Amino acid sequence: MKKYGFISVFVFLLGYFFYLVSEILSLPKGVGYFYPVDDVYIHLEVAKNIADQFLFSINSNSFDPASSSILYSFFLSLLIKVFGDSSYYPLFINLTFGVLTSFYAANFVVLQYGKKFALFFIFLLQPLAMIYLSSILGMEHTIHIFLIVLFFIFYNKLASGDLKALTHLLIVVFFLGAVRFESVFFISAVIFVFVGQKKFRQGLLIGFVGFFPIIMYGLYSLLMGGLFFPNSVLVKSNFHVSDAESCIIMLKSKFLNVDYIKYLFPFSIFYLMYAFSRYRNVKLPRVLEMEALPIIILLTSYGQLMFGIMTFRYENYLMIAYLFIGVKICDFYFKTSGFSISKLFAFLFVGYSVVFGLFKMYWYHPVLYTDSKNLYYNQYKLAQFLKKYYDSETIVANDIGAITYFTNIEVLDMYGLGSTDVAKYKYKTLRGMIFRILWEN
């Protein structure tokens, strides 16, 4: 059975090394590898400051937490503390977790549903979940995807009566809360499902363990003079609205213009048709028990869609979950005979998933192929200039990762991501605007 896991890893490595080599060749000879996104260098600079003075900040002289991933930043800082500084740690970490994700995801499908869907899953995994993309980018998203795979594995074991799996599930949920703050949507959905199943003790444990790293960070941040949430969570939130009209405009922009919707809506219809055809005469508690994972994923999807960011790399942890659920539904239809509209739609949705996966690969190909070069000739060259003429100075900037990592400067980020004072000003301005509107109405 493990051979399908190795095939999955092989497919992942093909995509990974194709773009890795392509990006290295696109740069001047001898400069090495540069990440396509500037955010990686934010993580690296924060990690350096954690390793040097245990300060979760992009600036060494003030508390400016530009990273929203506690786990990833500490993981990098541990490597820096033990082995010294290197910009290649994110590449190594992501390659490792990309291999693990590809292997265990395929292995889970084979063990759960048999060999009949294995190759289909393997060859659709990379185009849809884009694990190779996450790994090349060097961010924490690959770890996030891996944790979702583990959650599916351990939840299925728990549902099958393996009580020891609850401990493993709690560990996974803890790391989900630590790896990305947007996991609050996922953790909240898990709590809702457990409570709906009347498993109140397990739901309470999930909530405590999942929110624990977030609360502990918030208390630390407040003690350091920051805000409860990292600056990036506050300034990047997509729910900054001040009245009903703005709320409607925001929701329209999300539900009509986001590319992610082009898959979420068809998937939602596909799942609802399946659920209605299978459970129309079944009571809700039983549905929550049988369909816990799909319900958790759908609640997470719409929660993050409304309040968070769903573009480029942020939704890949959900895409792999959709693929798991799609295989589950196809397995159900495979075992049933006769024609039905829901079965026809399932067949059409599978075809749509293939087309959508190929579209994603085509759409993001130029991003991977050109952005490393853009970062090298823009942010890195600017960093060299700043290091030569403005070393140890404070610089006002927007893209703050590479220019801080490759220099010894302090940064004032007018967007607020890397400057707590700016983030506080934006937060207080927004809060005051909402209070005035509520008071006037």
What share of residues in the chain are helix, strand, coil (percent, to 5)? 75, 0, 25
Report the alpha-carbon distance of residue 417 to residue 401 in Å, rounded: 10
Q: Cβ(34)–Cβ(375) under 8 Å?
A: yes
Amino acid identity of residue 36, one-letter, is P
pLDDT in tens, 354-390: 888 888 888 777 777 788 888 898 889 989 888 889 8
pLDDT value of position 141: 93
Question: Token pair for residue 221?
Answer: 């941040």
Burial environment of residue 87 by CB neighbours within 10 A (0 to 12, 13 to 18, 19 or more): middle
pLDDT value of position 257: 52
Report the alpha-carbon distance of residue 317 to residue 121 in Å, rounded: 15
Report the alpha-carbon distance of residue 3 to residue 266 in Å, rounded: 32
Best CA proximity match to 210, nearest among 172, 237, 158: 172
Q: Cβ(258)–Cβ(305) under 8 Å?
A: yes
| SS3 of residue 311 by DSSP | coil
pTM of the model: 0.90
Amino acid identity of residue 53, one-letter, is Q
**Which residues in the chain land under pLDDT 70?**
1, 235-260, 307-312, 426-441
